[in-house]
Amino acid sequence: MTISQIFNFANLFVLPFWALMILLPNWKVTRQIMSSYLPFVLLAGAYLYLFISSITPENAQALSNPQLTDIARFFTDETAAATGWIHFLVMDLFVGRWIYWEGQKTGVWTIHSLALCLFAGPMGLLSHILTYWIAKTFFPNFQQNETVTVEEKATS
């Protein structure tokens, strides 16, 4: 499989998980799928393969004492850029999954935070933190679901 094929596959691979969390958050199948670490294992495997493929002695030295110019030069390499991108995909999906489960646990609305996380992970995380704070501060009765466990929701 070429670097480009791995990159394209990874981009497509994450989309069903995002679609389930955003469009069908309360579906039993979504809960089952999102309780698995398998998607992360597969993406992390692709990341590890690309990471090992992208490391040269020069790159290893640059990464051991990172300077902005060295990092910029590192990412001009196609394999390194694909590695970095898959890193984003894994971490954004992991944060999105956390946001999803927090929403399931607390009842706080997450669609906007998940959509932001899909495109810009840290903004989605910040959005969820702010949304949770607003809900907790201004709508304290809304937090009624907080005592309901994820397992209890999955069986209902």
d(CA 100, CA 95): 9
Of 7, 16, 74, give the one whose Cα is nearest residue 43: 7
pLDDT in tens, 17-50: 999 999 999 999 999 999 999 999 999 999 999 9
pLDDT in tens, 133-148: 999 999 887 665 544 4
> Does 76 have pLDDT greater than 80?
yes
**pLDDT, averaged across the chain:** 90
What are the distances in angstroms from CA 41 to CA 46, 60, 102, 127?
Answer: 9, 24, 21, 26
d(CA 151, CA 6): 35
d(CA 40, CA 93): 8
* Cα angle 36, 31, 42; round to 5: 25
pLDDT score at 45: 95
